[in-house]
Amino acid sequence: DAGVTQSPTHLIKTRGQQVTLRCSPKSGHDTVSWYQQALGQGPQFIFQYYEEEERQRGNFPDRFSGHQFPNYSSELNVNALLLGDSALYLCASSLDLYEQYFGPGTRLTVT
Amino acid sequence: GEDVEQSLFLSVREGDSSVINCTYTDSSSTYLYWYKQEPGAGLQLLTYIFSNMDMKQDQRLTVLLNKKDKHLSLRIADTQTGDSAIYFCAEIVTGGFKTIFGAGTRLFVKA
């Protein structure tokens, strides 16, 4: 079992650009959550997808959007990038609400 | 409100016990978690406790929950240098799907 995988590992973008991050959940998991972790901080919940629908959203602007595919994989899209969007983006998958398994993250740098 | 607070740093000698503390504000928390994050890596779920429990033990790890004081602790027995990492306390609130994280406690283990 490969566990949760994320791509790419690192990404450098310019202010105003758009970015798409990808996540493949652990085998058998149907729920995917996305988190933003700024340097020196704990992860902040962006949103959670279940059955291809956004089930709950954190305090993030509409520039952050996502999608879940029928195979449960997921994408996080961020439009009109700001310098403050630089962070580690973590994907977590679960079968129920209570045991989340995290991927290694995508390090996004906005210049 | 939703808030999880942790002390930022803890330093212990190899072989001693480590105790990492956390307070949370939402009394309707359902599950409380401890995650470990090593440099450049994602989060590893260490253990979790349901809110109707007072204690949970798993090998070297002991979790204590004081619901009255909204206080959660993680004790690591016989701390090793490999335990050096950032430890995050987190909660899921009843009726919600998002996990709320503290800022993390950086554990230093001196040989």
pLDDT in tens, A3-58: 999 999 999 999 999 999 999 999 999 999 999 999 999 999 999 999 999 999 99
User: Mutation test of the interface with chain A: which of B32, B98, B100, B106, choosing the one with the most A Cβ atoms within 10 A?
Assistant: B98
Q: What angle do CA B104, B109, B111 make, to 5 degrees?
A: 170
Distance CA A68, CA A106 (A): 18
8 Å CB contact of A55 and B100? no
Q: Is the pLDDT of residue A95 over 70?
A: yes
8 Å CB contact of A99 and B103? no
CA-based nearest residue to B39, from B82, B90, B103:
B82
* pLDDT for B51: 86
In contact, A42 and B104? CB cutoff 8 Å: yes
- Chain A residues with CB under 8 Å of a chain B CB are 4, 33, 35, 40-45, 48, 50, 55-56, 58, 90, 92, 97-105
Task: Work out the number of other CB atoms within 10 angstroms of the CB of residue A69.
Answer: 12
8 Å CB contact of B42 and A90? yes
List average pLDDT for each run of 10 residues in chain B, which is 111 residues long. Answer: 86 97 84 92 91 93 94 97 96 82 96 90
Task: Determine the 3-state secondary structure of B1 from DSSP.
Answer: coil
Task: Work out the number of other CB atoms within 10 angstroms of the CB of residue B50.
Answer: 12
pLDDT over 70 percentage in chain A = 99
For residue B44, give Cα distances in angstroms to A8, B15, B105: 20, 22, 14
Q: Which two tokens stand for residue A45?
A: 């919940």
* pLDDT for B2: 66
In contact, A8 and A97? CB cutoff 8 Å: no
Q: What is the mean pLDDT of residues A94-105?
A: 88
Identify which has the larger pLDDT, B31 or A84: A84
Question: A1 pLDDT band (50/70/90 cuts)?
Answer: low
Q: Which two tokens stand for residue A79?
A: 């439009």
Using the 8-state DSSP alphabet, how is residue B83 labeled? Answer: G
User: Mutation test of the interface with chain B: which of A29, A37, A91, choosing the one with the most B Cβ atoms within 10 A?
Assistant: A37
Task: Work out the number of other CB atoms within 10 angstroms of the CB of residue B80.
Answer: 12
**Nearby residues of A103 by Cβ (< 8 Å), 6 or more positions away:** A3, A4, A5, A6, A23, A90, A91, A92, A93, B42
Distance CA A19, CA A107 (A): 12
